[in-house]
Structure 1
Amino acid sequence: MSTPSAALALLDPAADLLLPALADRTRRRILVRLAERPDDAGAVARDLELTRQGVAKHLTVLEQAGLVRAERSARRRVHTVTPERVREVSDLLGLVATGWEGRLAGLKAAAEQTEGREGPAWMSP
């Protein structure tokens, strides 16, 4: 369930990196790939047919936004999706959707109440 506190955390200036990070199609592809299986930049690059250097740059942006974290495993940096941060994005978008659904329901109810009535006198021909 969406909570206002989760949305407020995303309205903090520190969250300004989040939506730009998700705005890039390649970064979204990398995020989806890492959601399937945590891995290093080289493996992600091979799977997505990208350069390792390009993937590394995109991973940095995703890390700065808090969507991905990296941990050392032997000589590799294994990247994983940060589910809490993804959930915060979902909560924020859910709140926005709920707000609009409420407004649209109100407009619909108002339109249904006036349906079939004549308009105000000043609108009569």
Structure 2
Amino acid sequence: MLAPEADGVFAALADRTRRHILVRLADRPDDAGAVAADLGISRQAVAKHLRILVESGLVTASPQQRRQVYAVRPDRIREISDLLGAVSRGWDRRLALVKQRAEHAQRTEHAEHSRRAE
């Protein structure tokens, strides 16, 4: 997910209200009115945030009877998770290398100090 659409995903996730809506929809798909009631914000505000989440590809909107039902797209969430996992693994490798070098330097310093003491 390093394509340009990743920018839209991370821009959508940059807003705390949208993250709350995403978590709420991950619990169960629902319409804007129910999400607004659960989160204690106006339906108009939720509709604006849902539009951005749909445009980013994180959420789908499906007509059901006389309402739109919104649901999280698990495939997109998995893509984000995979990307962040790759970043995390890269940092883990770097930190392990720093630790290894620090431990080696400490052992070398300890060995030199022991030789001087003899």
Fold in common (TM above 0.5): yes
- 1:16: how far off? 1.1
Give the whole-Å Cα distance in 2 for the aligned partners of 1:53 and 1:63: 15
The match for 1:22 among 13, 18, 28 is 13
Report the counterpart of residue 66 of structure 2 in structure 1. 75
**Structure 1 residue ranges without an equivalent (≥5):** 1-9, 119-125
1:45 aligns with 2:36: yes
Q: Output the TM-score relative to the length of structure 2.
A: 0.89
Identity among equivalent pairs (%): 59
Q: Name the structure, 1 or 2, with higher relative contact order (CA <8 Å, separation 6+).
A: 1
- 1:14: how far off? 2.1
- 1:116: how far off? 4.3
Q: Output the TM-score relative to the length of structure 1.
A: 0.84
Give the whole-Å Cα distance in 2 for the aligned partners of 1:13 and 1:31: 21
- 1:13: how far off? 1.1
**Structure 2 residue ranges without an equivalent (≥5):** 110-118
- 1:52: how far off? 0.5
Post-superposition Cα deviations, 1:7-53, rounded to whole Å, max 9, x if no partner, equal: xxx21112210111111110011001111110000110011111001
Give the whole-Å Cα distance in 2 for the aligned partners of 1:37 and 1:112: 49
Report the counterpart of residue 115 of structure 2 in structure 1. none
**Higher Cα Rg: structure 1 or 2?**
2
How many residue pairs match? The answer is 109
